[in-house]
Structure formats: structure tokens, C-alpha cells
Structure 1
Amino acid sequence: MAIDWDTVRCFLEVANKGSLSAAALSLRMSNATLGRKIDALEAGTGLQLLERGPSGVRLTAEGKEIEERAQKGGDHLYQLERLAFSLKADRSALPIRVSATETTVSAVLAPQLPRLWKNHPQIMVDLVMSTELADLNRREADIAIRLARPKNEGLIARRLPVITAGLYASADYLGGRDPRRLDLQAEKLAGLDEKYGQIPEVVWATRHDLQQALSVQSSSIYALLEIAKSSAAIAMLPDFLARRHDLIPIAAPPIPVRKPWIVFHRDNRTNPEVKAVREWIVQSCRQYFTDS
């Protein structure tokens, strides 16, 4: 039986994501197309590899064994893909994939695209908005912006300027009150939810007994921004974004800064297009973030 690499790659992505829909999104294909590939692999092997359920998929015992063996071979094939990408003479039609949060993509990188194209008009970029850590070893991205330094030996990480944050409100919300003298526990607050775990902002709110003052939570910074702009509540926001919308800073205990990293695979360290995009990202972040 002949098994093509693309089908195996799809199976590994489903095994990794635990969901057909999540894997299809990552692979940029429809659920139906991905489902047919998995069906073809199961038919070709004569094995049931996945158990499908309402909450996602689970590997069968046979699927786990296939996944373990395929993973080892897959790592070598991904290395070949990265090497071919770095050596390819004509890269003008290949987009450079950049993985970052929604806020970084929309508020930092997108407005700075003219700066990139002024010197490198031929470069295509794929700005991938993701809260998950893109796997650079598998070229899910060529460059990633992460809030923690990765430990993988195959990756190179460089510090970016820090991201500072604060509490902000609109003038209408304050209604003439002094933003330096508010009792925060008596105000309506909007903050990040716990989707990302015990991130510094959540820990900060708990430490200062402000969790009970949260009237609304969201995993979207842009939702928090709109809440503040609508005068519904005081919101925790990145300083650069709040200043852009003329929101008023509210006196509060210092909020921990976030320390982002720009990360890329060492195979791409000499790729001129990837290097140009890395330099553009650093310049863009310096435009909005604060040098540490």
C-alpha cells in the first residue's frame, strides 16, 4: 500500500489538534476534504485510527502506534521542507508566515506593511492570527511572536521591546471624576478571561482583589477596547492601543509588563526574505512597544 506524505501530515495534525475542525483550520482545508483524507488513510491501512465524538477525536490503540511511527518520519520530512524553503532560488511567490496574537497582527503589523513593501515590494506575507504556539519545526509559521522564550534547540529567539499595559476609561465613563482617585473595587472593570491560564494580568487582578469587580471578561483585547470606548467599564489594555484611541489612564497598582520574543528556525536564519520580515517586525514593534 502506498501512503503519500500529505495524507500522513493531515493525520498527524488531527492527532495533534484532537479535532478535525481545528486541524482543517490549521491545514487551510475544508472539514470535508480533511475527513476524506483520513477516511482514505484508514481504508488504505485497513485500520480504524480515530474515534470521532461530539467533543473531538481520539486516537485508537492502532492510531497511537501509527502516530508514533509517523511522527518520527514526519520530523525528517519537515526538516526537508524547511531546508528546501531556505534554499529555493525563487521565493518571490512563497508567503512568509508570521504567527502572532490578534492584537499584534491587527494593531502592530498590519499598519506597518507599507514600511515593509517600501524596501521589499516583492515579499508576500501571511499574517496568521493565533493564540496557540505555532510549531516552527513543522513550518506552521516561518516567524512567530511569543510571550515566552521557547526552549527548543532548533529555534532562535530574540527579545522584542516590552508591552506595557494599564487600566483605561473614556471621559464619559468618568463623568468628570478624577481618574487618580477611584476606588477600583467599586467600579465596573473589564479584563481578560482565564482562557490563557494564569497569565500575569489575571494573577495581578487576583493579587489586588479586583476579580470581584470584573463585570465582563473576554479573551479578545479588541472586545475590551470597545468596552472602554463605549463607556461601559474600565478596561485593562496595552498602553499603545489605549493611547491610540484617546482613552484616559486610571491610577492602579503597576501591571506586569509582557516580554515578547521573535522566534524563527535556525534553518531560516540566512533566508533573505525571512530576514527582511524579521527586521520589519522588530521595527514595527519598536514603533509601539517600549524598549526594556
Structure 2
Amino acid sequence: MSHRSKTKSTDTGVAEELWQQFRAARTASLREPHGWLTLTSLQWLDETCAAMEIVPGLWSATGDRACLTASTDDGLTELRTGRRVAGTVTAVLDDEESLFWVSHGGKDGDRIVVELARRAGRYAIRTRDAESPTLTGFTGVPVFGYRPDLVLEGRFEPYPAPLVEPIRTAHPAVQARHTGVGDVVFALPSLPEGPREVRLRAARDDTGSLSITFHDATNGSTTALWRRLTTPPPAPDGAVVLDFNRAINYPSAFTPFGTCPMPVSSNTVDAPIEAGERQPTGIGPAR
């Protein structure tokens, strides 16, 4: 074996080991006691105080404020203060914000956490049950084998100004917006006709990393209906690395109670990207 071949093999081995560490961290995050695998309901709040399923108390939303009325016998604990709810408590969220508001049930009163969320101007509550069968039966997310050929070099082409456009989400009642900051351009290899240039719209997070939500030809068969890839921040010259081995599912692949954003219409790759997370099996909805 030549020195160059040994170096390439070593580099691939190190990259695969780092990917295994990434997968271990991803699995650990999904196993969190009140993480995405624990969602058991999503219920919208109206102006009239009303009882909800699974959780005690009376719930409502008026204007920009959500309200909960309960007695100490209901066993609800406000997570911010650690006190039992006795009377009425309120919370105000901006759109797209969420709050782990109260908990109840179980030996220590914290089995079920009630998340307050505001989506498209409406308030909803989601219950997160630490004993949800989706969590207790979780054995990991199926993934494709490591593909060094799908660690790709690309370039980031920023827009003169952010591009905001409406998008759909996993929940038909919730609309959202995508703020694109530029295109990521790369060549997709291993196609019968040869490499093909692909252009995908990206958003940017607070760390400068790029987030790309995309469709590809595996969706609905071996993978969920869409996936997400996060890249490191681009270099000053726009160079960026896309490691599709790190493509992950949105929570909506595991649960029907997600409100996850769909890709913008242009982010469709009409070829299979057989790397990263596959369609979850045995948990959540068939998506």
C-alpha cells in the first residue's frame, strides 16, 4: 500500500470514528427523559377554559396569553418555581417559542411534563411522558453504513439579503417561514450519469453553522419524508463541507405531534442520498 493510500485510509478511519461518536451523542439525546420520543399529545387552546386530555386542570388562551387554572389536588407543579399550582397561572410566548411549563404524575410528580408552545399565533400544549412506549421501546435510529464518498466539498453563495418564504410543516394546521441566507452548491457523486451539481437553500443558526432541510429520492421508502443536515460555518472563501452521514430525521419522523418545518420547494434532490438516518421502524407514525 502506498503512503498516500495509507493516509487516505487513516483519514477515513478517523472520520468514521468521529461519526460513531456523533451517532452515540444523537442516540443519547433521543433517550432524554422528556425528549422528542416522549410526546403523547398536541392540543390547541381556546379562549374558553376547558379540560384537556391526559393532563388535569383547565386550560385557555386569550390574546397573547395562555392560562392554567388548577387546585393543589390536581397535582400540577409549575417547573419555574417548583410550587404546586393553586389558582391561575399565566405565560406569554413569542411565536415559535416553547416552554416546559408544569409537570405531574409518577412517584415524584414529574413523569409527565406539559410543554406550552405557540405556533402560527396559536397556543397549544404537548404532553411529554417519560414512560411513553416510544421512548421505552427505543433501541436506536436505523442508519446507512458510513459513506466516505458522501462527505462532500461545496461552496456557500450568500444572498444579498435574507430570503423569507412561507413553508408547510408536519402539522397541517401550522404554517411557518424559512429564512434562507444563501445557497450551498456541491457535486453529488456516484450517479450513473456522473456527478451532478446540486444547489440547496440554507438557513443559518446562532453559531454560524448552516442548516439544510431537504428531500431526496429515498424519502418515503428507506428514509423519512425529509431530513436535515447541519454543516460547520463556511470558510471565509465560502468553502463548506457537507457530511451526509450526519443527515438526521426531524422529530416528526418519530411522532405525530411534531410541527417540524418541511423543506422549501427548491430543496429537492432527484437522486438517492443513501447516507445518514433511515426511516425509524417500530416507533412513531409511518411517515
TM-score when normalising by structure 1: 0.21
Compare the two structures and name the one with the higher strand fraction. 2
Compare the two structures and name the one with the higher helix fraction. 1
